[in-house]
Chains A and B, each alone.
Chain A
Amino acid sequence: MKAKDFNGTIRTYRRLPSVWEDANGLHLNFKKANHAAFGFYDVVTPSYDKISQRLGAIEWDADNSLFTYPVVDIDFASTHDVSTPILDDDGDPVLDEDGEPTYTVTTENTYKIDELKSDKKKAVNEEAGRLLKPTDWYVIRKSERNVDIPSDVVTERADIITKANGFVDDIDALTTVESVLRFTFDYYPQPEV
Chain B
Amino acid sequence: MALTKISSGVLGDEFTTIEAMSASAVDFSAAQVFTKTLTADTTLTFSNVSTGMVKDLVITGDFTLTLPSSVKIITGTYDGTVSNLIQITSTNGSTEQWATISKEAV
Contact A24 B64, beta carbon cutoff 8 Å: no
Interface string of B57-85 (1 = CB under 8 A from A): 00000111111110111000111100000
On whether A28 and B65 interact (CB within 8 A), knowing A18-B77, A34-B41, the answer reads yes
Contact A18 B78, beta carbon cutoff 8 Å: yes
Sort chain A's interface into a size bin.
10 to 19
Closest to B77 in A: A18
Residues in A whose Cβ lies below 8 Å from that of B72: 26
**Does any Cβ of A come within 8 Å of B31's Cβ?**
no
Most buried by B among A24, A26, A28, A29: A28
**Does any Cβ of A come within 8 Å of B18's Cβ?**
no
**Does any Cβ of A come within 8 Å of B47's Cβ?**
no
A-B contact count (CB 8 A): 50
Closest to A17 in B: B77
Contact B65 A27, beta carbon cutoff 8 Å: yes
**Does any Cβ of A come within 8 Å of B43's Cβ?**
yes
On whether A26 and B69 interact (CB within 8 A), knowing A19-B77, A32-B64, the answer reads yes
Closest to B99 in A: A26
Interface residues of A (CB under 8 A from B): 18-19, 21-30, 32-34
The 7 closest A-B pairs by CB, nearest first: A28-B78, A33-B64, A26-B67, A25-B66, A28-B65, A25-B69, A29-B78
Q: Identify 10 residue pairs between A and B in the complex whose beta-carbon atoms are under 8 Å apart, listed by A's number.
A: A19-B77, A22-B69, A25-B69, A28-B66, A28-B77, A28-B101, A29-B62, A32-B64, A33-B64, A34-B41
Interface residues of B (CB under 8 A from A): 41, 43, 62-69, 71-73, 77-80, 101
Known A22-B69, A28-B67, A29-B63; further 16 A-B contacts with Cβ < 8 A: A19-B78, A24-B43, A24-B66, A24-B69, A25-B67, A26-B66, A26-B67, A26-B69, A26-B72, A27-B65, A28-B64, A29-B64, A29-B79, A29-B80, A32-B64, A33-B41
